[in-house]
């Protein structure tokens, strides 16, 4: 018989009841001291003293692109695989075998192949990855309506209040989900289970690949203490440098700090850091976030420094972004331009506009102005990584249009003239 726990809320009847340990393969309840499943012999157990009460999960597909390719070509199962392409591109994804050689996402391809010359290199097939991602997403939505996608291969899920529906605690529901995804879709996922988003995201990285980890707020404080302040999401290099300059090198330094003092130094960001350092995160899982950004990018086969050539490419990207906005009946307020120099340093520039737009002409005009300021003789190399390619995009709130969308009008030689209402 497995150990069970009832967790009470102030004065109320027990609301959480379930095992503290169970088998991920057969879902049988176990004593928390068990090392193997007494029913099926599996060593893959989940154990945590607060397990019945944890209901917020982060699910992340393991090396998603590479795993899909290995699924579709079993000959690659025990081989290092790199998703990318071109001698001057970057790695979009790397399987776990490739990672043992030091290959990482966003690494220039020439470096990746120098580290792992015998790797199988496969060009990305985004249409296929989107199809598989949707299959996983639909399986998530069968568990709870509160699914918040973060990307094609990861999402937050809130399973609070679903125990009666599923007849088991959220932890078991997630273990069953992971097993079914592996069986039915042919890829693996890692699950992080906690009481909030911040800790669930950390937990999903603790036992990859094919992992399942639970983490509560009490134990998180000790685990976070020796991590650098940059471990906290949203703390980039510039913010980290500011924190270090003021004596905050590790999360333990933030934990020892006074909340009011941090707010004096860093305003609202100080309060956010103080709370996250203690594992406190009140963000809710939002099911329908909608697209925050719509972008398009390209890969250059040779280094380019000619402004006219880049300008023509930028216009094509602006048209594609505009088309996607119109097809979704959306518009945006912030236009972003991303470039990479020949030494693979990324430049990102953004500019907000006064009114939401979906017009290619407006997107192009603003991004062209930013491009002109950046072209100073540095050549722009190709870049194949989904987050770091040269791209033009638009971001902002969703703005629905009551009037018909605007369309392009061209002169006889194919050059853009102006946009007019249909």
Give the pTM.
Answer: 0.74
CA–CA–CA angle 281, 285, 288 (5° rounding):
145
CA distances from 206 to 43, 67, 158, 277, 342 (A): 17, 19, 20, 18, 35
Residue 107 DSSP one-character state: -
**What pLDDT is recorded for position 292?**
65
What tens digit of pLDDT does each residue of 79-92 get?
A: 999 999 766 678 99
Question: Do 317 and 296 touch, CB atoms closer than 8 A?
Answer: yes
**What pLDDT is recorded for position 69?**
97
**What pLDDT is recorded for position 393?**
54
Neighbours of 193 (CB within 10 A): 30
Whether omega for the bond prior to residue 209 falls within 30 degrees of 0, making it cis, is yes
Among 69, 148, 154, 391, the active-site one is 154
What tens digit of pLDDT does each residue of 277-313 get?
A: 999 999 999 986 655 677 777 766 667 777 888 888 8
Query: How many C-alpha atoms does 271 have within 13 Å on its Cβ side?
Result: 6
- DSSP E strands, 195-319: 212-214, 293-298
- Residue 391 annotated to the active site: no
For the chain, the average pLDDT equals 83
Report residue 364: phi and psi, to 5°.
-65, -45
Q: Calculate what percentage of the chain has a pLDDT beyond 70.
A: 81
**What pLDDT is recorded for position 354?**
85
What tens digit of pLDDT does each residue of 394-418 get?
A: 554 444 443 433 344 343 334 333 3
What tens digit of pLDDT does each residue of 190-245 get?
A: 999 999 999 999 999 999 999 999 999 989 999 999 999 999 988 888 889 999 99
> Radius of gyration of the chain from Cα atoms?
24
**What pLDDT is recorded for position 401?**
46
């Amino acid at each position: 018989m497995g150990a069970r726990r009832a967790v009470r809320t102030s004065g109320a009847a027990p609301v959480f009841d379930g095992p503290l340990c169970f088998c991920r393969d057969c879902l049988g309840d176990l004593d928390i001291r068990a090392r193997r499943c007494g029913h099926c012999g599996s060593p893959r157990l989940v154990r945590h003293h607060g397990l019945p009460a944890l209901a917020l999960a982060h699910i992340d597909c393991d090396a998603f692109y590479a795993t899909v390719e290995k699924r579709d070509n079993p000959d690659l199962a025990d081989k290092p695989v790199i998703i990318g392409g071109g001698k001057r591109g970057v790695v979009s994804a790397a399987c776990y075998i490739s990672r043992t050689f030091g290959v990482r996402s966003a690494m220039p391809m020439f470096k990746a192949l120098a580290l792992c010359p015998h790797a199988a290199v496969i060009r990305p097939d985004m249409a296929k990855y989107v199809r598989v991602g949707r299959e996983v997403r639909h399986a998530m939505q069968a568990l709870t309506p509160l699914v918040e996608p973060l990307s094609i291969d990861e999402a937050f899920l809130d399973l609070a209040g679903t125990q009666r529906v599923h007849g088991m605690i959220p932890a078991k529901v997630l273990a069953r989900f992971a097993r079914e995804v592996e069986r039915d879709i042919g890829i693996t996922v890692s699950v992080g289970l906690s009481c909030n988003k911040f800790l669930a995201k950390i937990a999903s990285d603790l036992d990859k690949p094919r992992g399942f980890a639970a983490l509560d707020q009490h134990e998180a404080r000790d685990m976070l203490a020796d991590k650098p302040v940059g471990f906290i999401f949203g703390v980039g290099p510039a913010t980290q440098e500011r924190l270090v300059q003021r004596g905050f090198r590790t999360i333990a330094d933030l934990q020892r700090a006074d909340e009011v003092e941090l707010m004096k130094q860093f305003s609202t960001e100080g309060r956010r850091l103080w709370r996250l350092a203690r594992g406190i995160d009140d963000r809710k899982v939002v099911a329908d976030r909608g697209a925050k950004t719509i972008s398009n990018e390209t890969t250059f086969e040779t280094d380019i420094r000619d402004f006219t050539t880049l300008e023509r490419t930028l216009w094509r990207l602006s048209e594609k972004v505009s088309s996607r906005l119109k097809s979704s009946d959306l518009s945006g307020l912030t236009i972003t331009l991303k470039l990479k120099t020949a030494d693979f340093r990324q430049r990102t520039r953004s500019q907000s506009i006064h009114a939401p737009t979906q017009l290619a002409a407006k997107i192009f005009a603003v991004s062209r102005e930013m491009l002109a300021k950046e072209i100073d003789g540095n050549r722009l190399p190709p870049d194949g990584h989904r987050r770091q390619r040269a791209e033009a995009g638009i971001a902002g709130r969703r703005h629905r249009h009551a009037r018909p969308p605007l369309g392009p009008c061209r002169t006889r030689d194919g050059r853009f003239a102006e946009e007019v209402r249909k």
